[in-house]
Amino acid sequence: MDFYAVFLQIMVLFIVLVVGFVARRLQVLNDVITRGLSGILLNLAMPALIIDSLQQTFSDELLRHSAVIIVIALLVYAALAVAALVVPRMLRIPRQELGVFRFALLFSNVGFMGYPVVLAVFGQEGLFYAAVYNLPFNLLVFTLGVALLKVSDNTAAYRVTWQLFVSPAVVAVVIGFVLFAFSIALPIPLLLAVRQIGGVTTPLSMIVVGSLLAAINGSRWLANGRIYFISLLRLVLVPLAVWFSLRLFTSHSLLLGVPTLIAAMPAAANTAILADECNANPAFAAQVVFVSTLLSALTIPLLVYFLL
C-alpha cells in the first residue's frame, strides 16, 4: 500500500481525535456528554455500521472465510492469553500493575478504533471480516479479562452476568450474518438509513476517544517505563507476531490484514473502565490507554505500509 495514502487516512482519524481532546479541555464536552456519545456510538451507530458491512452478496467463499477468521481470532486470543500470563511474570511486573498489564496485552481497542481504522484501510469488505473476527471479544473481555484484572486486588467484586455478552455489537453481527447467510437484502430506504447512522461511527468514535484521553491526568506517566514497554508489546510486537504466524498459512489480503491490523490497535478503552470497576489500579490503566493511543498514530501507518 502507498505509505502516504495510508498515513493520510490514519492522520484524518487522529485529527478528529484531537478535536475531541481539545473540545473536552475547552469544556465543550464533559463526562455526561461523553458518556452519552459513547452510548450512541456503542448502542446505535456501531451496530448500524456492522449490519451495513454484512450486507454482502452471499458466496461460499465468504462463508468459508468467515469460519476461518473466527478460528484465527480464537487462536490469536489463545496465544495472547498464554503470553499475558507468562511475559509479565518474566518481567517481574509489580502486583499492583499485573492485571492491567495482562489485560492491555490481550485486548486491543476494537470498538472505538479498530472498526474505523479497518474501514479506512480495507473498506467495507474489510469491515465484514472485522465484524466476524471480533465475535469472541465480548465473551473473553468480560470473563478472562475481568479475571486477569482481579489479580491486582483480591477484594474486587465485579459481577459477570449474561447481559454483558449480549452487547448491541454482538447482536448486530448475528442479525447481519443471518441476513448475509440467507441472502436477505434490506429495502433500499432502510439500508440507506442504516448506512447513514453507521456513517457517524468513525468521526464519533475518534471524538469520544479524544474526550476520554483529555480526562486523564498524564502528569505521572512519563516516569513509568513499563507503560512504554506495554505499548511496544501492544503496538509492535503483537501485530508482528500475528502477521508472521498467519503469513505461514495464508496470503489472502483480508485474512492476513484484518487480524494484524486489529492486533495493532492500542490498549482497549475499557481497560481503564473495567480496571476502575475491579479496583485494579485504574490510574495505571488510564495511562496505558493514553500513551498507547498516542503512539499508535505513528505505529499503525508504519505497520500497514511495511506489512499490508
Confidence band for 163, pLDDT divided at 50, 70 and 90: low
- Could you tell me if 150 and 95 are in contact, meaning their C-beta atoms sit under 8 angstroms apart? no
**Measured torsion, CA atoms of residues 99, 84, 306, 53, in degrees rounded to the nearest 10:** -80
Confidence band for 221, pLDDT divided at 50, 70 and 90: low
Q: Taking 60 as the threshold, does the pLDDT of residue 171 lie above it?
A: yes
For residue 281, give the CATH number of its domain. Answer: 1.20.1530.20
How many domains would you assign to the chain?
A: 1
Domain that holds residue 37: 3-307
Give the global pTM.
0.83
Burial class (CB in 10 A: 0-12, 13-18, 19+), 210: buried
Confidence band for 103, pLDDT divided at 50, 70 and 90: very high
